[in-house]
Amino acid sequence: MIESNPSSDSNSMDAIIGILDTGIWPESESFNDETMGPIPLRWNGTCANGHDSSTFNCNKKIIGARSYGAGEIKSRTPRDMMGHGTHVAYTAAGVEVKDVSYYGLAAVTAKGGSPGSRLAIYQVFSSQNGSHGSTVLAAFDDAIADGVDVLSLSFGSSSFLEQEFINDPIALGAFPSVQNGITVVCSAGNDGPNPGSVVNSAPWILTVAASTIDRVFESDVVLGNNKVIKGTGINFANIQNSPVYPIIYAKSAKKSGVDENATRNCEPNSMDQEIIKGKIVVCDNEDSLYPQINKQDEVKKLGGIGVILIDDELRGVAFNFGTFPMTLISSKDGAKVLSYINSTKNPVATILPTTAPANYKPAPTIAYFSSGGPSTIPKNILKPDIAAPGVNILAAWIGNDTVQTLKGKDPPLYNVFSGTSMACPHVSGIAAAVKSRNPTWSPSAIRSAIMTTAVQTNNMKAPITTEKGTAATPYDFGAGEVITTGPLQPGLVYETTAIDYLNFLCYHGYNIATIKIMANTIPDGFTCPEESSIDLISNINYPSIAISNFDEKAGRRVNRTLTNVAGNVKMEDAKTVYNISIDAPAGLDVQVVPDKLHFSKFDEKLSYQVNFSAANPLKKDVFGSITWSNGKYKVRNTFAISSKSGSVALDKK
């Protein structure tokens, strides 16, 4: 959820964002149309309400809604019964609503990434039928015919089941969508932190990783020695704030004959009820097949009154534990808790209910679950493209919820969720805002504007890190963390042409017959270049550079072309000189020719060449950037170089 409007331009109301997801809850205040003007005349869609037509109503905000799946059309409904689609749709384009919160937590005045944009809903998932590739392809076809400007897909295949483009319904559906001028934005996947786990990595897709925001959901532990241990999680604990409850390490409650690792991880049927009853239990979460909810349920079943879970990765996400006192702490703090337990005969503690402090530092960091590069399908395209807020995101929710509803309370109107699913619509909203401001721009120009203006530093003015505190790389965040205003006026853009994409498919190894299946249209006479190889993928006009199997002795040369998009209003802005600056790691030589670009008019295209070389073999993958600046605009092209001798090892289970 972006709490500032990236564009105040009145034309932003004309952008249409298509959401492929679980549907929408139309009654949410976040989708009211009081401030919306007439529906654009170019809209060709429909509000196919099915059996829910008496209560499900489209308006000037939700201008279309379609439902897919099994059964007759009259039995279907685009109404969201799962919550995911409503959350995503709000994050992309929800209107401003004051004083929203999750039961009082994180109260803000909030709105989506492009609150003036319209929404078109394509329900491709349901709790009864799941989703099928044919359903996704049908939704793509409808969206093209309906006239959307941006498509937002917060789903994808598992990285362990990643498919070739010709078999991937998202890649297949996205290709003709982009050919028809639609920007397609997809989540990078939640299989991190394994390297090489990124999905939705076709070059015609804008692929989004997840980062944290400067707000945490904090649930602290107070020990009997009055030390306070910071924890994370959402709980509305109704226990005393004073440390009066006995605390025990789960390993001390091991049942006879049970493996000690199972006990310390609080796994089912591993702990002695008589020892657990009435105590706060400290659980490990190391090499355990059971998720945290199972540990909570097991301790609760045995009569325990709270859980402190030790986990360095999961603690970055605020899991919802309802009214049960539970929190997650780091291994470093876990050692302090265990040291206290061992230091006294009667250790005691308490777990405080959650607060949501803002201005947390450092932020952003890259979420542990966010799938990362290098991309394996395809090679030589740097994926993910961009990172955006995807952790602890507050957004609209369904009105008939039972799972996330606190006992004795009404269903929450807003809910907190994390995932690259939440990061994707942030970028979809920004893409819509850019399209609104620049209606003639192609999807690749919009992607370039978003990527080349991204930032790679956090709110402490230091390089962005992972949640473990290690330096993040472009394999984690692509071009960097998205910003809201920079993409509206980037100065220059990298336009990836239809021929670039067709050549990419040739370089990737497809023949013309296969390419014709994927492409909506192919120019007359197009054939694959005689010399087609994976290495040539590095040369398509993408707003980042990736080189695999880099040969230090031979070096590598790539070309890029920039289009001047400044000066369409003030002609004097078009006449400008951009100078190059290079950020290269030690051991890699980077030369750019020419080192100045002299633009004289709007929409002028100028090309440059980048020569990479190294005197010695690279011992690991290296990263850097090439930035063009004229004093007003800075356009950064991030690069990643993978050496034959030092490429990252992929952990693909």
Instruction: List residues with catalytic annotation.
Output: 21, 84, 421
Query: 211 has which bridge partners?
Result: 366, 389
Among candidates 391, 369, 237, 253, which has minimal Cα distance to 312? 369
Place of tokens 């979460």: 285
The verdict on whether omega for the bond into residue 193 sits within 30 degrees of 0, i.e. cis, is: yes
In 3-state terms, the chain is what percent helix, strand and coil (to 5)? 25, 25, 50
User: Two tokens at 406?
Assistant: 């606190």
Tokens 């994409």 label which residue? 501
Number of neighbours of residue 156 by Cβ within 10 angstroms: 26
What is the secondary structure of 325-347 as a DSSP string?
Answer: -EEEE-HHHHHHHHHHHHH-SS-
Cβ count near 411 (within 10 Å): 15
- Neighbouring residues of 161: CB distance < 8 A, sequence distance ≥ 6: none
- Rg of the Cα trace of the chain? 26
CB 76 within 8 A of CB 69: yes
Q: Under a CB-based contact definition with an 8 Å cutoff, are residues 282 and 338 in contact? A: yes
Classified as helix, coil or strand, 64 is: strand
Distance in angstroms (rounded) separating the CA atoms of residues 307 and 328: 8
Question: How far are the Cα atoms of 278, 561, 582, 628 from residue 636, in angstroms, in the given order?
Answer: 57, 13, 10, 6
Which residues in 250-382 belong to E strands, given as ranges? 280-284, 306-310, 326-329, 348-351, 365-366
Bridge-partner residues for 17, per DSSP?
A: 119, 150
Q: Is there a contact between 420 and 84 (Cβ–Cβ < 8 Å)?
A: no
Structure tokens at 641: 């170089």
SS3 of 234-259: ECCCCCCCCCCEEEEEHHHHECCCCC
CB 295 within 8 A of CB 309: yes
Q: What is the rounded CA–CA span in Å between residue 436 and residue 86?
A: 23
Q: Which residues pair with 16 in a beta bridge?
A: 118
H or E segment and range at residue 451:
helix 443-452
